[in-house]
Structure 1
């Protein structure tokens, strides 16, 4: 597919100016916001593979326009935005975007609406795997925003457990200021981490809007993971070797002790994770974007779309809102019934 009809809309002129100089793997730290991860990075990766995608802050008159949820209102309120455009919006962590014709969602749970297409989040650019020279389990690591970590892992009891068992705690966090990470992180570097841990504030919380990025990055880094009950992890879990599911502080302690006492289990989890990582390479995610854009191009050429596109965008939104009420009700009734897989 040539994809010369695919346009990435970004309202920020500075981000568009950055595109000519950014190298995804070299400049991994650049991708610190949702717009940069979903719009800038997707544009750059597709272009690097030879696809003739375009980007700008002035929408075209025809074709498929992709944007992040934070840019959607700027797009639809732009004086040049035609009702005939097919808008595909990357929802990311936001609420459903009913003004968009289609949505890109970051976990399978969110894709039950016919308007939604699941595309995995991009794997961590510039990732450095765990060093092969490391032998024993000595360091537990966390990478993420400081406000997302369960407070127990900042308490004295956790620190005491680590010290008693000869473990160190690599807390690689950032504080969120609203648009950019407040200080430099090492989110790409797993070279000195032996186990990755990520438990949000609610051990049992499904966090249905979140992606499985931390799990996929751990697989690619060759680092076993201990994770909570997020639906994005559970829906990818095929085997106990994929990650250790912890539902309490005691579960976390038991998991770490088990890995320390059983080197074969540790080795099996590393090997399994590297195999699973092959499902989520940048190449595989690129192919998924191409598949979705190809599908949307076919839809836009259909007679049904030609009729649909004659409706003002506000009318289309009201129709979607009516259907969305049933989808929300259905989501509330859906349960993850086997959280111990």
Structure 2
């Protein structure tokens, strides 16, 4: 069983099928002239609005980033090639916040846990301080590649096959900010093979000197941009993951021997390659298989020898490379930042806000029942005393 997919390809998120979609357009009009109030971190919170009657109970929406993890300097936009976006906690929290702000969706970035509303937080944010459920609080965990959060009411996952939580919704990981596509002046050259990622996500065979020697024998050059940072440290992170200008193909394989399908990992390396206009040679991972088509818009390899054979075949066929790139360009449209932003708007409007409303209504009903029961018991006790 896979998680629910929050994209405009699915009926419950189709534009125009819900009055909420029209309400979003009205809301954006209001937001275009709304004044901004500075917050303690130099960002801005939207001033109060007059919501459409459809959403008189519109809750505040927060992106929670605990103070110890708050960067000293925030990026100016979501499109900036900021080193911090190489960390999951920042790409999920800050990039989503900035993207929604850019289209006028009302949300705030906070460093203290709110008491009411919808709170979105990265799974690792709880390593500083656990969040406590409140009666008028809906907690949404940005799960990334971590375990589900027991206190969360909803989970956002980055792999459409990840169903570890019963209330999981798939929203794609953001593509690489500030991505520089392959330089078209390279034409049919096929010389530079790259890997962009963390050291722990690359097969040991591809870190060995023998790999570079074998590529050199084929007339190819290995150009890995590898980071070794911990999950909360980006000070020494190499920022060149965005530059595909001189890259002719990417290779991204975690292991040649594992039977894992990595259901918690995203397909980011695949659609970054699509957006950059380069062929991708990848391992057998569930996310790649879910969004791509092997031999159509990427190549799947299962062994070291197959990888070498595939590179030889690609080097000898510019037509095969061009076919992969063209098919990838079509597939990339659903992973443009604008499309993912729209998916987020639809998720918040069609899933998160109704879930918050239902939760508040249930809590009100439970409170009313408890008060009614207490009054009944009090009246009975009073009657018995008088008798």
TM over 0.5: yes
Measured in 2, the distance between the counterparts of 1:275 and 1:77 equals 41
Task: Give the aligned partner of residue 182 of structure 2.
Answer: 130
After superposition, the Cα gap between the structure-2 partners of 1:16 and 1:183, relative to the gap in structure 1 and judged at 3 Å, is: closer
Alignment of 1:125-164 (within 5 A): 125-134=177-186, 135-164=188-217
Normalization by structure 1: what TM-score?
0.83
Does the residue aligned with 1:140 lie in a helix, a strand or coil?
A: strand
Measured in 2, the distance between the counterparts of 1:4 and 1:293 equals 11
Could you tell which deviates more after superposition, 59-68 or 91-100? 59-68
Instruction: Choose the corresponding residue for 2:83, options 16, 29, 32.
Output: 29
Could you tell which deviates more after superposition, 193-202 or 147-156? 147-156
Uncovered stretches (5+) of structure 1, i.e. residues with no partner: 312-341
CA RMSD of aligned residues (A): 2.4
Q: CA deviation at 1:179?
A: 2.0
Task: Give the aligned partner of residue 321 of structure 1.
Answer: none
Uncovered stretches (5+) of structure 2, i.e. residues with no partner: 1-23, 28-57, 367-387
Could you tell which deviates more after superposition, 33-42 or 64-73? 64-73
After superposition, the Cα gap between the structure-2 partners of 1:100 and 1:236, relative to the gap in structure 1 and judged at 3 Å, is: same
Task: Give the aligned partner of residue 70 of structure 2.
Answer: 15
Contact kept in structure 1, 2:121 and 2:141, CA below 8 Å? yes
After superposition, the Cα gap between the structure-2 partners of 1:69 and 1:146, relative to the gap in structure 1 and judged at 3 Å, is: same
Contact kept in structure 1, 2:225 and 2:238, CA below 8 Å? no
2:90 aligned with 1:69, yes or no?
no
Instruction: Choose the corresponding residue for 1:82, options 109, 128, 134.
Output: 134
Does the residue aligned with 2:313 lie in a helix, a strand or coil?
A: helix
Q: CA deviation at 1:114?
A: 3.8
Does the residue aligned with 1:235 lie in a helix, a strand or coil?
A: helix
Instruction: Choose the corresponding residue for 2:287, options 222, 232, 237.
Output: 232
Could you tell which deviates more after superposition, 23-32 or 193-202? 23-32
Q: CA deviation at 1:61?
A: 3.1
2:152 aligned with 1:96, yes or no?
no
Deviations 1:216-241 (A, max 9, x none): 10000001000001111111123522
Q: Report how many residues are paired.
A: 308
Normalization by structure 2: what TM-score?
0.74
Task: Give the aligned partner of residue 110 of structure 1.
Answer: 162
